Amino acid sequence: MLQAMAESVAEKGYAHTSVADVLKRSRVSRETFYQHFSGKQDCFLTVLDRSAQVLEQFFEEGLSRDEGPWSRFDRALEIYLTTLAAEPAFARVFFLESYAAGPEAQRKRFAVQDRFVQSLVTNFADEPAWQRLPDPGFAARMMVGAVSQLVAAELVHGRDGELPTLREPMMRLLVGLVGGEADPARSAASE
């Protein structure tokens, strides 16, 4: 049912998706649907939660590697963008349709972004170039917001398959702005 909700919303938008659309795609009865969810929004919020869990898991996986902070972030960004490209329905749910689903969905989306911000603050906590910024926490918020906006723009234009190509220019700009040290082997491999 969650996959059916994600696909229906990705195709038709949240406002135009009905419980009947989900039932048709998932081939379950109305009774079965209501045994699990109180309604359309409840199902959508569950999809949003699952989408967020998957995104966070892959992002954190990239940050957990035993590398320097720039290489960890580069790897996390690569995994994150590749995951979004592989799951376009869930990406659309999270980045676009959460705005149409009302305040509760929007709060959930921004709570996830806040967790990404905290992950970046932790990742760059010992990075001298990052710590020289006037407000490292605000810089992390700006970075997460910028990544989110760039991803949303690609999704709106139907270029979900292009999402991984954002990594290299994002990293180049970020390292250039902050003055950090990118992993030379990783940078050479992406050129």
Q: Mind listing the domains of the chain with CATH numbers?
A: 45-190 (1.10.357)
SS3 content of the chain, % helix, strand, coil (to 5): 80, 0, 20
pLDDT of res. 61? 81
Q: Which amino acid is at 53?
A: Q
Q: What is the spatial distance between Cα 136 and Cα 155, in angstroms, rounded to a whole number?
A: 29
> Where do the H-state alpha helices sit in 124-180?
128-131, 136-156, 167-178
Q: How many residues does the chain have?
A: 191
49-98, pLDDT tens digit by residue? 888 888 888 888 878 878 889 999 999 999 999 999 998 988 988 899 99
pLDDT of res. 55? 82
34-45, pLDDT tens digit by residue? 999 999 999 999
pTM exceeds 0.85: no
pLDDT of res. 84? 92
Q: What is the spatial distance between Cα 17 and Cα 12, in angstroms, rounded to a whole number?
A: 6
